[in-house]
Amino acid sequence: MNSHSRWGVGLCSVLMLSGAAFAEKNDEAMIDLAWESGCFNCHDLDKPLLGPAWRDVAERYRDDDEALSRLVVTVRDGGSGNWGEERMTPNRRAAEEEIERLVSWLLSLDARED
């Protein structure tokens, strides 16, 4: 998270100024939803916990058109073996529509910086 070099922060804030207001608001809402849905018990955006970092998930499925529908099912029903031996238990607390919003958002995240 704190890997920005000083010049990097300056450069980023210039480049991101235009779209930042909307993106940040959306990000905040989705992060709240992810907390409410229990996802962050096992996930983080930037580092692997029990489950993979969501930025790594986005990177892996960047060019995969069918990833969204497939991952919604995986998140709903649970899965293992794609990232390691750990198992994602079924997520029944979140409605399918919320899972779809979460997955399509996390797939849009930028890759990790390190």
Binding site for ligand HEC (CB under 6 A): 37-39, 41-43, 50-52, 57, 71, 74-75, 79-84, 86-89, 91, 94, 99, 102-103
Minimum distance, C-beta of residue 47 to ligand HEC, in the bound complex (Å)? 13
Between residues 46 and 83, which has the closer beta carbon with respect to ligand HEC?
83
Contact 68/104 with Cβ under 8 angstroms?
Answer: yes
Q: Outline where 1-114 has alpha helix (H).
A: 6-36, 54-60, 67-77, 96-106
Minimum distance, C-beta of residue 4 to ligand HEC, in the bound complex (Å)? 26
Structure tokens at 5: 């070099």
The residues that bridge with 87 in the sheet, in sequence order, are 80
Between residues 9 and 50, which has the closer beta carbon with respect to ligand HEC?
50
Between residues 8 and 84, which has the closer beta carbon with respect to ligand HEC?
84
Q: Determine the Cα–Cα distance for residues 90 and 103; give it in Å rounded to an integer.
A: 15
